[in-house]
Structure 1
Amino acid sequence: MAKKLKAWIHVGMPGAGDVIEPALAHHHEALVELGVASVARTPAESFRAGVEMTRSHKAWGLKRADVEGQWTRLVRRAQRTRADLVFSQALLASATTEQVALLVDALADHQVHVVVTTGNDDEAATVGRWSAAVRKPERLHVVETDGMEPADVWKAFGRLVGFGTTSLRLDAVPNATPVVQSLPDARRELERLARRNASLEVRLEELDRKRRKLKKKLGKQLDDVA
C-alpha cells in the first residue's frame, strides 16, 4: 500500500509566523524539488482561498464569485505534483469548526497536519477549533515564536514539514520583513495593509480577465464586419 501523502496547514497568529505564507509562495519551485508543493503560488491565491473558506468576501469588498471554488482548484493543481502539500494563510486563524471541516474535506486523500505559530493574540481558541482537523493529537503542532526572528520561525516550520531552509533565503521574499514585537499596533496595521494589498491584487486580476474577454469579443466583431 502506497504511503499516504501529507498536507501541512499553517495557521499563524499575528506575529513572526507571518513570514511563512510569502516564503512558501516565493520558493514554490524549489520546494517542489524538495518534495513539498505549496498549494498557493502567490499571496493573492492564498488570500483568495482564505477568504473563500472563511466566507469573508463581503468584508473585503469582494463578490462570492470572485473566490468560489478557489481552494479546491488550488488543491487539485498541487496534487498533480504527487508531493506533500503545504498551505499558509493568516485568515484561517478565525475559521469556525464548520469552515475548518470544509477545508479539510478537500484533503481527504492526505494525512493532515496543522501547525499553529503563536504571536500577539491568544491562540487557545484557534488551537481548539483546528484540533478537530487532525485524527491524531501528534499531528497538531504549536510553535512558540516568542523571542524568535522570522528566519528562526521559517527554519522551525521547515524542520516540521521536512525541508531545509538554508537555500530558501528570506532576503528576496516580499513581505518577509522582521516583526516589531514592541509595537503590536504598528504590526497589526502592517498586516491589515498586506491583506488589503492582496485584496486589490484579486480585483486587478478580475479586471484584467474582463479586459481580455472584451478585447477578444471586439476582435471577433471586427472580423465579422470585415
Structure 2
Amino acid sequence: MAKKHQAWIHVGMPGAGDVIESALAHHHAALVELGVASVAQTTAESFRAAVEMTRSHKDWGLKRTDVEGQWSRLVRRAERARADLVFSQPLLATATPEQVALLVDALAAHRVHVVVTTGLDDEAATVARWSAACRKPERMHVLETDGLEPGEVWKAFGALVGFGTASLRLDEVRHAAAAFQSLPDALREVERLARRNASLEVRLEELDRKRRKLKRKLGQVA
C-alpha cells in the first residue's frame, strides 16, 4: 500500500503566525520543489476557502455561490503535485466541530496534522475543537510565537512541517494583518485606511503644487 501523504492545516490564532498564510502563497511554486504543495496559491484563495468552511459568507457580504466548492477544488488541484499538503488561514480558528469534520473529510487520503500558533486570543478552545481532526495526539501541534519575529515564526513552522526556509525569504512577502473576525471589524479597518489614503492624497497634491511652482520659478530665471 502506498504511503499516505501528510496534510498540515495551520489554524493559528490571529497574531505573529499570520505571516504563514502569506508566505505559503508567495512561495507555493518553490515549496513543491521541496515536496510540499500549498493548497492555496494566493491569500484570496485561502480566504474564500475558510469563509466557505466556516459558513461565514453572509458576515463578509458574500453569497454562498461566491465560495461554494472552493475548498474541495483547491485540495484536488494541490493533490496533483503528489506531495504533502499545507494550508493556513486564521479564520479556521473559529470553526465548529462539524465544520472541522467537513474540512478534514476532503483530506481522507492524508494523515492530517493541525498546527495552532499562539497569538492575540486564547488558543485552548481552538485546540480542543481541532484535536479530533488529528486522530492521534502527536499530530496536534501548538507553536508558541510569543516574542518571535515573523521570520522566526516562518522558520519554526517550516521545521515542524519538514521544509527549510533559508531560500524562502520573507522580503517580498506581503505580511498579512491580523484576521478580522467580523465584517464590522473589517469595515472599520477599511475606513481607517481610506482616511490614511485621503491624507496621503492631500500631501501628494501639496507636493505637486510646490513642484509646479518651483518649475515656474526656474523657468523665469532661465
Which bracket does the TM-score occupy, shorter chain normalised?
0.7 to 0.9
Determine helix, strand or coil for the equivalent of 1:12: coil
Give the structure 2 partner of residue 173 of structure 1: 173
Is the CA contact (8 Å cut-off) linking 2:114 and 2:139 kept in structure 1? yes
Please state how far the C-alpha of 1:12 moved relative to its aligned partner: 1.0
What is the count of residue pairs matched by the alignment? Answer: 186
Find the aligned partners of 1:158 and 1:91 in 2 and give their Cα distance: 21
Find the aligned partners of 1:174 and 1:108 in 2 and give their Cα distance: 32
Give the structure 1 partner of residue 58 of structure 2: 58
Gaps in structure 2 of 5+ consecutive residues: 191-222
- TM-score normalised by structure 1 residue count: 0.79
Percent identity over paired residues: 78
Give the structure 2 partner of residue 119 of structure 1: 119
Give the structure 2 partner of residue 152 of structure 1: 152
Residue identity opposite 2:83 in structure 1: A
Answering whether residue 138 of structure 2 is matched by residue 138 of structure 1, we say yes
Find the aligned partners of 2:152 and 2:102 in 1 and give their Cα distance: 31
Find the aligned partners of 1:175 and 1:22 in 2 and give their Cα distance: 6
Residue identity opposite 2:57 in structure 1: H
Query: RMSD value over aligned CA atoms?
Result: 1.9
Residue identity opposite 2:122 in structure 1: D
Give the structure 1 partner of residue 88 of structure 2: 88
Give the structure 1 partner of residue 36 of structure 2: 36
Q: Deviations over 1:173-218 (max 9, x none)?
A: 01258xxxxxxxxx677x9559x88xxxxxxxxxxxxxxxxxxxxx
Please state how far the C-alpha of 1:3 moved relative to its aligned partner: 1.2
Determine helix, strand or coil for the equivalent of 2:11: strand
Q: Deviations over 1:36-65 (max 9, x none)?
A: 000000000000000000000000000000
Residue identity opposite 1:12 in structure 2: G
- TM-score normalised by structure 2 residue count: 0.80
Residue identity opposite 1:154 in structure 2: W
State the 4+ residue runs in structure 1 displaced beyond 6 angstroms.
none
Gaps in structure 1 of 5+ consecutive residues: 178-186, 198-226
Please state how far the C-alpha of 1:88 moved relative to its aligned partner: 0.2
Please state how far the C-alpha of 1:76 moved relative to its aligned partner: 0.2
